[in-house]
Amino acid sequence: MSEEEQVKREDSTKELPDAELDKLKAERKKKRKIRLLKEAAKADKRGVCYLSRIPPRMDPLKLRQILSQYGELERIYLTPEDPAAHVHRKKAGGFRGQGFTEGWVEFTNKNVAKRVASMLNGEQVGGKKKSSFYYDLWNIKYLSKFKWDHLTEEIAYKNATREQKLALELSAAKKERDFYLSKVDQSRALSSIDERLKKKRKIQQAGGEVPGDEQQAAKVTRQFRQTKPVRDGAEKQKAGLSKDILAGVFGGSS
């Protein structure tokens, strides 16, 4: 619909009475509801298969070309590999393209999805012998009662979790950086104070004056009462009772 037709349609709806306008809105709402119900019915008939391993050099386009031979496909999603693994493989001289770890394939008919999963699981991928994944095996399974909406929700949840984790890591790194910079500034301030004190001491010593910190140290010096050392023979002496006490206890006479 062009912009002029859309403007004319909006102008025509504005000129309608309130009753007819409400009726038109109700009809549009009903049509939208019918369309959504049809889409929901179609979604119930669809089936999703899970691929636990994606052969090297396989991409969504090639996967669609192979699986479309067995049934009509709707959507395909392949999980990209870890960027660190991709960089490591490129440095090692391996495949430089994008790799994938796992994937989901949506078939128009769930019965076709079940049949394809049972037929291909554990079988050789095949195709042209020159293909890099000719000798690879299918690892495919039909997911019962699993819809594509579940996959999108899971992906959105994983993305949100990853973003939250990244935000926490950035916050922690920022705190560490601020703490380090504050310590660096503190160290610079202390070193500058020490340099000024050293210069002041040199000037005072050159003028024959006693530095103020040495005077303060002399004033602060105190003497404390010390205990007398124990004699070397004191440990050998044994404590004994006097004869008068013994006589009083045993009734003897001295």
Say if residue 52 is in the same domain as residue 127: yes
Establish if 29 belongs to a structural domain: no
Residue 103 shares a structural domain with residue 180:
no
Q: What is the CATH number of the domain that holds 81?
A: 3.30.70.330
Residue 79 maps to a domain = yes
Query: What is the overall mean pLDDT for the chain?
Result: 79
Give the DSSP letter string of the chain. --HHHHHHHHHHHHHS-HHHHHHHHHHHHHHHHHHHHHHHHHHHH-EEEEES---TT--HHHHHHHHTTTS-EEEEEEEEPPHHHHHHHHHTT---S--EEEEEEEESSHHHHHHHHHHHTTSB--S-TTSTTTT-B--EEEETT--HHHHHHHHHHHHHHHHHHHHHHHHHHHHHHHHHHHHHHHHHHHHHHHHHHHHHHHHHHHTTPPPHHHHHHHHH------PPPPPTTTTTPPP---HHHHHHHHT---
Q: Tell which of 163, 184, 202 closes a domain.
A: 202
Clarify whether residues 93 and 165 are in a common domain: no
The pLDDT of 47-56, averaged and rounded, is 90
Shared domain for 115 and 86, answered yes or no, is yes
129 and 152, same domain (yes or no):
no
Q: Which structural domain range is residue 165 located in? A: 147-202
pLDDT at 6: 55
Q: Are 46 and 142 in the same domain?
A: yes
Does 47 share its domain with 133? yes
Residues 57 and 107 grouped into a single domain: yes
For 155, 164, 170, 171, the CA distances from 167, given in Å and listed in that order, are 18, 5, 5, 6
pLDDT tens string 215-225: 554 555 667 77
Q: What's the pLDDT score for residue 254?
A: 46
Tens digits of per-residue pLDDT, 121-160? 989 888 777 888 888 899 999 998 888 888 888 777 777 8
Residues 54, 129 within the same domain: yes
Are both 193 and 140 inside the same structural domain? no
Q: Mind listing the pLDDT tens digit for each residue in 76-101?
A: 999 888 888 888 888 888 777 888 98
Pick from 102, 118, 146: which residue ends a domain? 146
Overall domain count for the chain:
2
